[in-house]
Amino acid sequence: MNSPAKQSFHVAPGGRLIGRLRVPGDKSISHRSVILGALADGVTRVSGFLEGADALSTRDALRALGVRIEGPHEGRLEVHGVGVDGLRAAPGAIDCGNAGTAMRLLIGLLSGQPFASVLVGDESLTRRPMRRVTEPLAAMGARIETNNGCPPVRIFPASGSLRAIRYEMPVASAQVKSALLLAGLYAEGVTEVREPAPTRDHTERMLGGFGVSLTRDGPWARMQGGQRLRATDIDVPGDISSAAFFLVGASIAAGSDLTLEHVGINPTRTGVIDILRAMGADITLEREREVGGEPVADLRVRGAQLRGIDVPPELVPLAIDEFPALFVAAACARGRTVITGAEELRVKESDRIAVMADGLAALGARVAPTPDGMVIDGRGDEPAPFAAATVNSHGDHRIAMALSLAALRGSGAIEIADTTNVATSFPGFVALAQGCGLAVSTRAGG
């Protein structure tokens, strides 16, 4: 758990975003590709794999569990699957770093194994809630200990098969759904999971691609335990959650015209496009196509005058990672934006409601955090609504990137402290952002 030296961002004010770029591979799909590839019979070849710290934590975890994995080299990864029954005990604790997805999915997977495992994470992950997965897994017969519901997580060997459950999730969480489906591969009977609102369905799609029979019926996913996986090839599209920073940046900076190539537009992920369009953004989808079971398109976005809206709560789970960027958009809109039903933001890599409210307030925005969202009175009538300030990302990658884009509408430079974790989801962010017109540079320290 050695943390790399801290870095900060310096962003000079003004500019617009022009050109074409390709953001790195989808984080959610990358995690799943290496997990399912490891469990499959045969070799899975992945292209477009995210070479960010989070996805690499999952790769390293599977290596520690005895799986041979080559790469990534330029996004190409080869996973030599060991079959559902082929994992071996890791020699020590498995370090998930900053990655909540790695930890929650691995808890599900490891609950069904005949050996013990210990999962640890960094300071941020050590504060994040794990009961949402450990409680339903315990109902399946898993034996798990946590520190008051948080990591470290100790999983004891499963004695025999787990028991399938029928579970209605209290929170709309793709991580919980995925953890239960992974455990369900090791359960006797049919695992049935109901989500209270649609969440990203990459696990269900990818299990299908690996030959697992899984049925989806409205809010329910149902899967018979004991199935085997057949290796397949996976082409990971660009991450819409990374594209989101540029969708917002180009929308708020007049005269922008940016095309984001080969972005995943799975309908369980496109809430950010729907919300921005409702605010008046000019986003068009070009070359829509399907790649390996996931819809993909090029997204063209041009500067537009945004207006405040009441964000429909049903869109919240479909844009859950994009709110740091959306808060910046709202602060540049004309009128009031109200976000409700987003209390999950409080248990992400940081408390994204509190940290974004602090950051935006320091920049002069009119924001009022609420228990489950935020009310933002946009200053869209002003060419440069954000003042010069030093703000803190609290080690949260998405906060750092979202606040850096605010400089496009700043009247002075914005310094953002503690930006090292941008590499967890978006390696190369600074170079890509500079290349299309954001005056961002990295400084040591902070």
Least distance (Å) between residue 326 CB and ligand S3P: 14
Q: Which is nearer to ligand S3P, 28 or 47 (CB)?
A: 28
Beta strand spans in 87-232 (E): 94-95, 117-120, 144-147, 150-155, 162-163, 166-168, 187-188, 190-194, 214-217, 220-224
Least distance (Å) between residue 369 CB and ligand S3P: 19
Residue 445 CB-density burial (10 A; 0-12 exposed, 13-18 middle, 19+ buried): exposed
Least distance (Å) between residue 14 CB and ligand S3P: 31
Instruction: Specify whether the CB–CB gap between 99 and 175 falls below 8 A.
Output: no
Q: Which is nearer to ligand S3P, 59 or 200 (CB)?
A: 200
Strands 334-339 and 294-302: unpaired
Strands 257-264 and 18-21: parallel
Determine the Cα–Cα distance for residues 28 and 246; give it in Å rounded to an integer: 19
Residue carrying structure tokens 């790695």? 102
Q: What is the DSSP letter of 87?
A: -
Instruction: Specify whether the CB–CB gap between 63 and 82 falls below 8 A.
Output: no
Using DSSP's 3-state secondary structure scheme, residue 138 falls into helix
Cis peptide before 13 (omega within 30 of 0): no
Q: Which is nearer to ligand S3P, 7 or 178 (CB)?
A: 178
Q: Which residues bind ligand S3P (CB under 6 A)?
A: 28, 101, 173-175, 178, 199-200, 320-321, 344
Q: Can 321 be counted among the known catalytic residues?
A: yes
Q: Which is nearer to ligand S3P, 114 or 196 (CB)?
A: 196
Q: Which is nearer to ligand S3P, 117 or 173 (CB)?
A: 173
Least distance (Å) between residue 203 CB and ligand S3P: 7
The one catalytic residue among 26, 95, 235, 321: 321
Least distance (Å) between residue 173 CB and ligand S3P: 4
Active site residues: 321
